[in-house]
Amino acid sequence: CAGEGSPGIIIKHGKTRSGRQRFRCKACGSSFTASKGTLFYRKRSSEKTILDALSQIEAKVVFGDEQAVRELLGENTADAESNHLTMRPFNGRLVRKSLAFSKKVRMLAVSTAWEDLYYHFVRVHKSLRKPSRQAGKTQWIQQTPALAANLARQGTHGQVAPLRCCT
């Protein structure tokens, strides 16, 4: 049974409009088709069409050497995906199915660098805040990652400036 998992008490229970066999569990009374709980459940395409499409899927390296990519990524790509999920809300060129795309690789690199600067020097991160030292008040001192890592200092008007310039 799809609900209880007990074999031997399943009976045929007619057919669906599309002609698929329907089954019913005598114990719980639930009705289901043979494809419930599988990849084909509630799909309008036939099982053969879906299997043909799945058999043609393959991983392909678009940029660089395949061996170098495997060495860099290793077994786990969670860090790369986490970074992409962080970057997408701030950079319209990285959003999927968007009309904002870069025609030149240099412009993509510039927009990504701009997003990195914003993320590290401008955007305040809630997890990096520190409690204020004022008595009786529960206020917080907001920080950016650069402030938290002592790579920048905060100006008099709240702006963040790098400690040393990279040229």
CA 110 to chain centre: 23
18 domain-assigned:
yes
Domain that holds residue 114: 68-131+141-156
- Give the highest mean pLDDT range of 5-9, 91-95, 161-165: 91-95
Whether the pLDDT of residue 29 is over 70: the answer is yes
Which residues does 131 contact at the CB level (< 8 Å), separation at least 6?
Answer: 138, 139, 140, 141
pLDDT of residue 42: 67
- Structural domain includes residue 122: yes
Share the mean pLDDT of the chain. Answer: 73
Are 83 and 98 in contact by the 8 Å Cβ rule? The answer is no
For residue 15, being part of any structural domain is answered with yes
Torsion angles phi and psi, residue 54, rounded to 5 = -65, -30
In total, how many domains does the chain have? 2
- Please write the tens of the pLDDT for every residue from 45-72: 676 777 777 677 676 777 778 888 777 7
The span from the first CA to the last CA of the chain, in angstroms, equals: 68
Q: Say what the pLDDT of residue 119 is.
A: 78
| Confidence band of 166 (pLDDT split at 50, 70, 90) | very low
Task: Please tell me which residue, 148 or 37, carries the higher pLDDT value.
Answer: 148
% of the chain with per-residue pLDDT over 90: 0
Question: For the chain, how big is the Rg over CA atoms in Å?
Answer: 28
Instruction: Please state the rounded mean pLDDT for residues 97-104.
Output: 73
Domain annotation covers residue 62: no
Same domain for 24 and 93, yes or no, is: no
Indicate if the pLDDT at residue 167 is higher than 50.
no
**Residue 27 forms part of a structural domain:** yes
Q: Which residues of 82-111 are buried (b: 16+ CB within 10 A; e: fewer)?
A: eeeeebeebbebbeeeeeeeeeeeeeeeeb
Predicted confidence band of residue 163 (pLDDT cuts 50, 70, 90): low
- On the question of pLDDT at 165 being above 50, the answer is no
> pLDDT for 112-153, tens place per residue?
888 887 777 777 878 788 877 776 667 777 777 777 777 776
